[in-house]
Amino acid sequence: MPMNQEWKPKIVAFCCNWCSYAGADLAGSSRLSYPADVKIIRIPCSCRLNPLFILRAFQRGADGVILCGCHPGDCHYSTGNYYARRRMTALFGMLSYLGIDSRRTRVEWVSAAEGAKFAETMNDFAKTIYALGENVKLEDLRCKEN
């Protein structure tokens, strides 16, 4: 990265198709602003998120990874997010156990009507990641530019 450019955190947001992705849409069409460095990846349901995806995002240079899904009880497939909740808890616990700051990962429930919450969540997450700085503990130097 050129020296004169300010470092901005790269964030990957996995959004479930039925709620949070629509929420992101709403945030966009309501012209609410959230950091441009948030890259959204659409997944069919929050429970589609394989822990490998999160690690791969970090490998490819993400500084933070967030999962957004329907509110518990509202999952399009009824129970997907309940499973995701337990799985992510287990994974975050393991990251922290390995000495990797688990705050680089987050789960947030955002419905299709919550465009404002989506923007807020992303702003807040970006702030957290900005404070944590660049991801070095889970970086893969082979994937870094220059």
d(CA 145, CA 99): 25
Q: Which stretch binds another protein (CB under 8 A): 22-30, 31-39, 84-92, 113-121?
A: 84-92
Cβ contact 38:127 at 8 Å: no
**Which listed option, another protein, ligand FES, none, makes contact with residue 96 (CB within 5 to 8 Å by class)?**
another protein
Q: Which stretch binds another protein (CB under 8 A): 11-19, 29-37, 78-86, 119-127?
A: 78-86
Pairing of strands 38-43, 64-69: unpaired
Residue 78 touching another protein (CB under 8 A): no
d(CA 122, CA 35): 7
Tell the burial category of 118 from Cβ atoms under 10 Å away from its Cβ (0-12, 13-18, 19+): buried
Which residues contribute to the site for another protein (CB under 8 A)? 51-52, 55-56, 58-59, 72-73, 79, 82-83, 85-103, 105-107, 132, 137-142
Which residues contribute to the site for ligand FES (CB under 6 A)? 16, 18-19, 45-46, 69-70, 75-77, 80-81
